Copies of this chain bind each other. A is one copy, B any other.
Amino acid sequence: MNIGVLGTGMVGGAIGTRLIQLGHAVKMGSRTADNEKAVEWSKTNGGNASHGTFAQATAFGELLFNCTHGVASLDVLRQAGEGNLGGKVLIDISNPLDFSKGMPPTLSISNTDSLGEQIQKAYPRVRVVKALNTVNCMVMVNPDLINGGDHTLFMCGNDAAAKSEVKTMLHSFGWKTENILDLGDITNARGTEMMLPLWVRLYGAFQSPMFQFKIVR
């Protein structure tokens, strides 16, 4: 499958490399066509890996991953272009973390709105699925790294078929069906994005991002 990965940071790199390993063709997108990290990434990931602008990566992908910083995501999608986005499935991993007021970061959107909802509202045709945003990027693509893979992945979105497609992708990453928890429509992104203030504090307490939330009943 052709997949567009928006963002060249740790998340974009981890997702992109995992997708290549799974046999997909991946174009990593950034603000400029010759972003240093994207060039390096595509060089080291073989013939199925390429890079380009946000617009080029979005046009290339049948499926899209938003791995950009949350505070930049809406601008990135504007650059990606509504025509290129079309009615594609966008897996939104981003979090509206605002580091401008010091550490730990606060959220630039929360409580009565969420970034997932803002993206869906700005691009009504795009089938936004919020997922993976409460998980460290190493664990996103290799859930077995923690507790034998036994922990919870939250997802939400308005389109059932899109969520089903994303589940298949998550299975290929190693996530077990019983650990993927579909919360419902995209407004549930308020709940998962608002886990981040605790997430960053747990990171501080453990001095490690290698932890996960598990819902037990």
Q: Which residues of A contact B (CB under 8 A)?
A: 101, 106-107, 110-112, 146-147, 150-151, 154, 181, 183-184, 188, 190-192, 194-195, 197-202, 204-206, 208, 210-217
Contact = CB atoms under 8 A, between A and B. Distances in A.
A157 to B, nearest CB: 14
Given A101-B112, A191-B197, A216 B214 contact: yes
Task: Say whether chain A's binding surface is mostly helix, strand, loop, or mixed.
Answer: mixed
B201 A211 contact: no
Contacts of A197: 111, 190-191, 194
Given A194-B195, A216-B147, A183 B211 contact: no
How many copies altogether? 2
Nearest to A98: B111
A204 B106 CA distance: 26
A195 B211 CA distance: 16
Nearest to A146: B216
A120 to B, nearest CB: 17
Contact of A211 (B184, B192, B204, B216): B216
